[in-house]
Structure 1
Amino acid sequence: MPRFLAVYTMKPEDLAGFRSLPKPEQDAIDTVGLQQWTDWEGRNAAFFPDRGGMVGRTTRVTKDGIADAVNPFCGYIVIEADTIEAAARLFENHPHFTVFPGDGVDIMPFLTDPQ
């Protein structure tokens, strides 16, 4: 079955806005969002050969060396689905952007087979 990489995205300013909320408000959002996320993963577990995870700060390596970098990536998950459209439908109304300050999920097909 085809595999797809789904990357959770979040603008740094949206994360900063969330982190500037009072702690009790952040905790309330986390409680609701994490439960919805857990429920979503449970309903769709058969599609996830790799549940991925959330990621932190970025370090970029280029021909000019190693440096801190900024990008919108905050997590990933690997999906198995018949089509990219089927993979995308799994994320409709996802708590990443309906509860948390995430702005989207980018889905890309793997072009090579896993080793």
Structure 2
Amino acid sequence: MPRFLAVYSMKAEDLARFRAMPKAEQDAVDAVGLPAWDAWEKRNAASLLDRGGMVGKTVRASKNGIGPYTNDFCGYVIVEAKTAEDAARLFLDHPHITIFPGDGVDIMPFLT
């Protein structure tokens, strides 16, 4: 069955807004979101090849050298599905976009 890289994205301004909330409000979101995320993983366990994880700040290596870089990438997971659309459907109710300030989940097939 085809494999897909699912990339969690979050706009910097959305993360900043979340981090500007009082700690108690952030904790309340986490108290709902983290168990929902765990439940999502359990519901979709058969499709998860690598649970991936969330990531921190980016350092880019390019022809100009190495330095900090900004993008919306904040995490990933590797899933298995018949089509990219089937893979995308797994994320329609994902807490990243329904509870947390996530922007979306981009689905890309592995070609090799």
Bin of the TM-score, shorter chain as denominator length: over 0.9
1:71-101 deviations in Å (ceiling 9; x for gaps): 0000000000111111010001211011100
Number of corresponding residues: 112
1:52-84 deviations in Å (ceiling 9; x for gaps): 000000000111100100000000000001111
Question: 2:55 matched to which residue of 1?
Answer: 55
Gap regions ≥5 residues in structure 2: none
Question: 1:96 matched to which residue of 2?
Answer: 96
SS in structure 1 of the partner of residue 44 of structure 2:
helix
Q: Separation in 2 of the partners of 1:14 and 1:49?
A: 29
Question: 1:41 matched to which residue of 2?
Answer: 41
Q: Separation in 1 of the partners of 2:72 and 2:40?
A: 22
Question: 2:18 matched to which residue of 1?
Answer: 18
Aligned-pair identity (%) = 68
Computed over aligned residues only, the root mean square deviation of the Cα atoms, in angstroms, reads 0.5
SS in structure 2 of the partner of residue 49 of structure 1:
strand
1:99-114 matches, cutoff 5 A: 99-112=99-112
User: Aligned letter for 1:9?
Assistant: S
Q: Separation in 2 of the partners of 1:19 and 1:49?
A: 31
Q: Separation in 2 of the partners of 1:24 and 1:40?
A: 24
1:20-41 deviations in Å (ceiling 9; x for gaps): 0000000000010011110000
Relative to the length of structure 1, the TM-score reads 0.96
Relative to the length of structure 2, the TM-score reads 0.98
**Runs of 4+ residues deviating >2 angstroms:** none
